[in-house]
Copies of this chain bind each other. A is one copy, B any other.
Amino acid sequence: MNWIDEGALFSQISLFLREDLGRGDITTQSIIARNTRARARFVAGENLVVAGLEASEEVFFTLDSQQQLEAFVSDGEPVEAGKVIARMVGFADVLISAQRVALNLLQHLSGIATLTNHYVKAVEGTGAQITDTRATTPGLRPLERFAVELGGGYNSRFGLDDGVVVTSNHISILGGVAGAVKSAKEKLGYLHRIAVEVSSESDVREAIGAGADVVVFEDLSSKEFARLAGIARELSKLVGIECAGKITPADVREYAEAGAQLIRVEALTNAAPAANISFKVQPF
């Protein structure tokens, strides 16, 4: 259900190329003859889930529309270390000049998909969904959300405008959970579901009493989460139960088994290292 605006992506890739090329790749332009045919290969340097291959392809095409890419795996597929991900045929100067931007995208997005997949596998069979958060790299949110989806995760709201979450900062200003939720319910309930961040038993009771559609448990141990989630479920069969915080692949399953329907993980998009992928060019 992820939607990448192709026109916007194309503009953005142009900006990425301009960032790296500036007034042109002076090395390549001065030593490689124009129209020299060449081929190249993307190779996985570790086990990973591929994401961003189409975007990387677009980088080469944006610079020069005559490059051809043959992919051996699709975005979202796992590959093992040493495997050739894709092969390209084109012009040597274009392949070399576009390489860094293409690799930067592919490594970054594959890193996210790979990390997401670790979380997803850890909760397999529990019915819990792993979702991203708004802790994305500025400027790259649509691509990073797509990488999360490719890794098997779900997307949460895109931004502050397409979903309602009453956070602890809202509650701190308003002085209480119940008032905050009631106010949101009245003003936006006819259009949106109302989610609210909670961290104590009284929060849970106030939130559900005031009509919250979803409760999000923040930064709790899995044990404490289990206890409060149980109370929430008792209070309402319909309320959505989610958790968030510094949850690792090692302990995520505990939250899932304690009743979390959705688990929001910031690390998916702000702590995944670039995947190890190389790009080698050869004469034809």
Contacts and interface: CB of A to CB of B under 8 A. Distances in A.
Interface of A: 1, 3, 5, 7, 12, 14-16, 18-32, 36, 38, 92, 95-97, 99-101, 103-105, 107-108, 129, 134-142, 154, 156-167, 169-170, 172-175, 180, 183-184, 187-188, 190-193, 240, 261-262, 266-267, 270-271, 273-274, 280-283
A26 B228 CA distance: 28
Contacts of A134: 20, 100, 104
Given A31-B184, A161-B158, A99 B169 contact: yes
B191 A139 contact: no
Nearest to A32: B173
A182 B138 CA distance: 35
Contact of A138 (B19, B240, B270): B19
Of all A-B residue pairs in the complex, the 4 with the closest CB atoms, nearest first, are A3-B24, A22-B161, A271-B273, A25-B160
Contacts of A157: 191
5 contacts: A1-B188, A3-B26, A27-B164, A27-B165, A28-B160
Contacts of A274: 135, 266, 270-271
A281 B172 contact: yes
Nearest to A196: B27
Contacts of A281: 169, 172-173
A140 B137 contact: yes
Given A139-B140, A281-B169, A5 B28 contact: no
B160 A24 contact: yes
A240 to B, nearest CB: 7
Contacts of A103: 135
A191 to B, nearest CB: 6
B96 A158 contact: no
Given A16-B138, A31-B187, A129-B190, 6 more contacts: A20-B159, A26-B160, A32-B173, A104-B138, A172-B280, A173-B282
